[in-house]
Amino acid sequence: MTAFSLIVKKSIEQSYRQKKRESMRTENEMMNLILQLAKDDDRIRCVYLTGSRANPNVEKDNYQDFDVVFVVTETASFLQEDSWRASLGEIAMMQEPLSSYLGWGEGNDPNECYTWLMLFKDGQRIDLQLHSLQVAKRNFLAESLTVTLLDKDAFLPINEAPSDHHYWIAKPSQAEFLACCNEFWWCLSNVGKGLVRQQLPYALRMYHETSHAELDKMIEWAIGLTYDYQVNTGLWGKYFRDYLSEKDYNHYLKTYASGDVSHIWTAVWMAVEMFQEKARDVAHAFDYPYHQEEETAIICYLKGLKATTEFTESQKSGRGMNDEYPQ
């Protein structure tokens, strides 16, 4: 990309951000639109809010979705035509995760529930669910984060104040703890082999989807210790920054890897250090065994693989005899 193209691109992006700031509808405007639609449509009997906007522990910002449930007398007419959504705004993109058309929603009965995820051109987003009366009766009390916005028939039961306790970190059993440790260490061996073979897509995916996922789990359990397991760190560590020390959080960020082999190795060692610390904390708190032999074996194995990689790189740079990789 040329310097001129970069200037044009940045100018367009800045203009878009400015326009978005000026035109994005406020929370009150969005709530009024949602409620007015529901009040004017006899098929919609109740409206309630879920998700982060119903969570008193989450700081509000302009990027929160409006997770809204319409309790309806039937769903078929909503699916047959979409003019009823027009008052919500101009849609930039939409997804229907329960749609059978795209091969999703297997096993879902559209007569019972359906969902539209809508991103509007002003940057606001509504995740709108339709629930039949039967589904609402079954699900409403099963969700701890609900705020009733409209109930035309006093249909919804009186719920306790919204709380995220359904999403609190659960204490690990001994079996869960040992399985987490075993999976973390074992899958790192596959990461190392992928790096030696220069199979970076495989190595990165193996790292992030297995070992790093287990690191996240261990970090959650360690955070739980501090807050007596009455804490919600959000989906995929969304709120880790709020509950880890600044030092730990900065360390954690360094466990994420780029596409460079040396950087991936650095990220792996950062993950190893953090897992060692947090796993020992959790094991000590619950008096669980920690299998040191697994840790020792894999660290030794990884060091051997890394040495092989470094030797191979020196060969490729002309200091070695050939460019063969170990199989």
**What tens digit of pLDDT does each residue of 151-204 get?**
999 999 887 888 888 899 999 999 999 999 999 999 999 999 999 999 999 999
Separation between Cα atoms, residue 145 and residue 48, nearest integer Å: 10
- Per-residue model confidence (pLDDT) at position 225: 97
For 65, residues 6+ apart whose C-beta sits below 8 A from its C-beta are 51, 52, 53, 125, 126, 127
Q: Is the pLDDT assigned to residue 317 strictly greater than 70?
A: no
The vertex-179 CA angle with 175 and 184, nearest 5°, equals 155
| pLDDT score recorded for residue 316 | 59
- Tell whether the model's pLDDT for residue 1 goes beyond 70: no
Q: What is the rounded average pLDDT of the residues 208-218?
A: 98
- DSSP letter for 244, please: S
Length of the chain: 327
Q: Which of 7-16, 71-80, 213-222, 290-299 has the lowest mean pLDDT?
A: 7-16
Residue 93 Cα distances to 23, 99, 125, angstroms: 18, 15, 10
Task: Give residue 73's pLDDT band: very low, low, confident or very high (50, 70, 90).
Answer: very high
Residue 2 pLDDT = 63
Q: What mean pLDDT is predicted for residues 110-133? A: 95
17-166 belongs to which homologous superfamily? Answer: Beta Polymerase, domain 2 (3.30.460.10)
Residue 4 banded pLDDT, cuts 50, 70, 90: low
Cβ count near 22 (within 10 Å): 8
Domain boundaries, the chain: 17-166, 169-319
Looking at residue 144, its pLDDT comes to 87
d(C-alpha 170, C-alpha 229), whole Å: 6
Q: What is the DSSP secondary-structure string of 107-157?
A: T--TTTEEEEEEEETTS-EEEEEEEEHHHHHHHGGG-SS-EEEEETTS-SP
pLDDT for position 191 = 97
Considering only 106-120, 134-148, 221-235, 308-322, which range has the smallest mean pLDDT? 308-322
- Report which of 14, 123, 118, 15 is spatially closest to residue 62, judged by C-alpha positions: 123
pLDDT surpasses 50 at 324:
no
| DSSP symbols for 247-306 | HHHHHHHTTS--S-HHHHHHHHHHHHHHHHHHHHHHHHHHT----HHHHHHHHHHHHHHH
Mean pLDDT for the chain overall? 89
- DSSP single-letter state for residue 172: P
Average pLDDT over residues 225-229: 96
pLDDT of 311 higher than 70: no
pLDDT of res. 285: 98
* pLDDT in the model for residue 162: 87
Give residue 323's pLDDT: 44
Whole-model pTM? 0.81
Query: What are the pLDDT digits (tens) for 236-285?
Result: 999 999 999 999 999 999 999 999 999 999 999 999 999 999 999 999 99
Question: What is residue 106's predicted lDDT score, i.e. its pLDDT?
Answer: 79
- pLDDT of 23 reads 86
Question: pLDDT confidence of 68, banded at 50, 70, 90?
Answer: very high
> What CATH code is assigned to 169-319?
1.20.120.330
Q: What is the pLDDT of residue 94?
A: 95
Residue 326, pLDDT score: 38
Neighbours of 49 (CB within 10 A): 20
Give the model's pLDDT for residue 143: 87
